[in-house]
Every structure is written in C-alpha cells, then in structure tokens.
Amino acid sequence: MRPSRLDATHDPSLRSWIESANDAATDFPIQNLPFGVFRHDFEERPHIGIAIGDQVLDCLAAARAGCFESLGPVIGDALQSWSLNALFLLGREDARAVRAAASRLLRSDTPEGTLAKAMRETIIVGMDRISMILPAEIGDYTDFYASIFHATNVGRMFRPDAPLLPNYKYVPIGYHGRASSIIASGTTVRRPRGQTKPGEAPPAYGPTHHLDYELEIGAFVCGENALGDTVPVEHAEERIFGLCLLNDWSARDMQAWEYAPLGPFLAKSFATTVSPWVVTLDALEPFRAPAFARPDGDPPPLAYLMDEDDRARGGFAITLEVWLRSAAMRAENAPAVRLSHGSFESMYWTVAQLLTHHSSNGCNMRPGDLLGSGTVSGPEKASRGCLLELTMRGAEPLTLPSGERRAFLADGDEVIFKGWCERKGAVRIGFGECRGEIRAASTAAE
C-alpha cells in the first residue's frame, strides 16, 4: 500500500494569524486551504485565491509581493493567471508545493507568517468584498452514475423487476455533458423549456414541470495525457487536483421522453452549478476511507479498474446535505429546511476508477476537465440526493415548514448544498456551499 501523505499541513495543532480560521465551525481552517477564483468588487480582472477562515489569500498580490518566490517563476506565473487552469496543467506535485507554502504564510508561528501578517492589507481580502466565479475554464464535462443506491432507486421506478442494467457493476456509467452551461454558485437557474409527453397525450413543448436537483461531487482534472494514452488506476489520483460540490440540475419529464436511445440531452444541458472552492486531495488526506464494500456475489472490478490501494483508501468521508428555502419561506424570513443528509462513502465507484475508465479508450483528459460523480444517495430514504428519489417520482410529496408541498422544484426555490469532513484526531474542513435559485421559464416575448 502506498504511504499516507499526511504532513505538517495537516497538524491539528496548527493555528493561523487569521483569527476566523481558528474557529472550530469554519469550513476553511488552515488545514484546508482550498483554491478558487474571485473578482474584487472594484476590479474586473480575476484573481486566484486560497480560502482561510472568512478571508482569502490573494495569490496574485502575494506572488507579486514575493511570497511564493521560493517555488520558482513557473509556479509564480500560474498563480497570477486568470483561472486555475495553469496550476492544473502543472499538476498535483506543484499544487502540493503551493498549498504547503500557503500554510507557512498563514501560520502564526513561522517567519513567513510574520512577514505575511505585516503585508495583510496587501495580500488578504475579506470574502464579503469579493465575488466568486468559476474556478476554471472547463473544456469538457462528464457526468457519471456512480451511486448504486441512486441507480437502483431510479431503476426500480422504471424497471421494477430489473432496476440495475447488466453493465452497472462492471462499467462506471457516464455521459458527456455540456461545459458551456456550467455556472458558478449563486447564479440563478432559469426553468428550461423542452418536449415532454405526459401519459397518453401527444408530445408538447413548454416549461418543465418536474425540475430537480442532483447532489454530486465534482472532480477537477489536472495534468494531461496524450490522445491514445490511458491513465492507470494506480496513478489516477495524481490526475485529480481536488473536489467541489456540484448540482447537475435535471428536468425529469423532459428526460423521460428524450433519453432513449442515446441518453440525457436537453434535460441536463441547461445548467450545472459548481461550488467556488476546490478542496485539494491533499487537504482530504486525513479523511480517506475504504472504497465501497461490494456485497457478496458482486463481480470484482475488471483488472484495469482494480488497485488494492484504491480499494483500501480510495474513498472520502465527506458528509453531504441538501437544504431548500422557498420564496414564501424567504418572505417570512424563515430558515432553509434540510431535505437530505448522506455520505460520499456510499459511492460504488471511486474517483480514481472514474478517471481511469474515462481514459481507458485513449481519451485525452485535459487540465480543467470536470467529472461529476452522479447523484450521491445512500441506503436510507433520508440520504437520497434528489427529489426524484425522495418523493418517489412525485408520488410522495414533501411538506415544507411553511406548509407548502413539493414533488419537484417550484419557481423561487433556492437549493443549497453543503459538504464537510470531520474525524477524531483531525480538524474539520468543509467545501463551503453550492447555491442556486430557480427563476421562471422564459416567455415567447423574451
């Protein structure tokens, strides 16, 4: 088994001179240090940033001030880029060096930290003074179907006698999504229009009536492989920069009509929301977990997807929640209500297996490509990651604290995803939030 990469950056005793980073409830302690891209309220140019408490280390300003000089000019230039793609191109090893250098800069007990604190007004900006944008220029987006509980629940609605298709336990199922409609957290989502076919009625074109969210984890690819080359599973994690929260919005009635024979199309391509902060695999090292334990009788992964180290520690203990706040609840100043609570440990396929399978035909995976895990659902009803499952295709609507009922999403609904990791002996780290509010469909006049 490959050794753990726990190092000084994971030390639970570390403290930052940014006081909010020492709060036990923060998603962004010094042990995390996720990467994102932001704009100052007064400036159009994007900056790479590293989250620390309720503040951000401005990597452009820090690099220009010489804070990363020891890492060399190539990394320095990447940190002054307009997106994370340049850093993704360099790969995990260089990203690891940046995170370690940022840890020293933000610690309260290092010479680098003393120097950085003196430059605070130059290199640190409050999260309340910036706008987060997409962390990368995403060239390609692939969405997988890696939760066997989600696949079984959905399959049972349409094929009660055979909910899982014969290939599921052999092949990490996925489809090629639309990168152009990936949007930053907080961007409103307009209800899509499309073809639906209710019952025996003829098909009609109009707004979807069955709009849904999908609770997912996204994985950003780093490094690259040439067209025709594959990524062995034992090396696949070196090609994953980090993880984020992802909402792959879905129009279920459109999907039911259009998916045969080629799969998802307009029911998925109208919007996919990603959270702003990319939590590195290095920050997630203390929260490793075994891969999903396949039940007796399930086939083992084929040889190209099988790696003992990946089976032993290829999972991640990430707690995930979905919250909803309707327009009526906002008007009454009522808080959001939690709809589900689950864990990323429930996934049948690991992140490494997803990337390896994607490249197994020689597909060239490029820096900034995004992989979606597919809906994260667990074995209990409370851990189901979409309304399609929670309401059993609308047959069992939810009742909100406001008295409103939901089979699917209504205009004005705001969906909030949250994710975090906690374990004894480690400092809790989080992903922040992934938010999106539903806006009414466009009209013919628009």
Catalytic residues: 150
- The two structure tokens encoding residue 275: 């959270």
* Residue matched to tokens 């951000």: 56
φ and ψ at residue 147, rounded to 5 degrees = -95, 115
**CA 69 to CA 287: how far, in whole Å?**
31
CB contact set of 371 (below 8 Å; sequence gap of 6+): 141, 142, 143, 144, 218, 219, 221, 351, 354, 355, 358
Cα–Cα nearest to 130, from 48, 34, 38, 27: 38
**CA 136 to CA 228: how far, in whole Å?**
25
Cα–Cα nearest to 16, from 148, 117, 127, 98: 117
Query: Strands 370-372, 141-144: parallel, antiparallel or unpaired by DSSP?
Result: parallel
DSSP letter at 84? S
Beta strands in 381-428 (DSSP E): 398-399, 405-406, 414-421
CB contact set of 2 (below 8 Å; sequence gap of 6+): 309
**CA 243 to CA 278: how far, in whole Å?**
5
H helix intervals, 167-278: 252-258
In degrees, rounded to 5, the angle at the alpha carbon of residue 47 between the alpha carbons of residues 41 and 53 is 80
Cβ neighbour number for residue 396 with a 10 Å cutoff: 10
> Which string of b and e fits 66-84 if b means at least 16 CB within 10 Å?
ebbeebeeebbebbbbebb
**CA 122 to CA 346: how far, in whole Å?**
43
Cα–Cα nearest to 272, from 248, 243, 244, 254: 248
DSSP letter at 278? B
In degrees, rounded to 5, the angle at the alpha carbon of residue 276 between the alpha carbons of residues 62 and 209 is 165
Strand, coil or helix: 394: coil
> Which string of b and e fits 121-144 if b means at least 16 CB within 10 Å?
eebbbebeebebbbbbebebbbbb
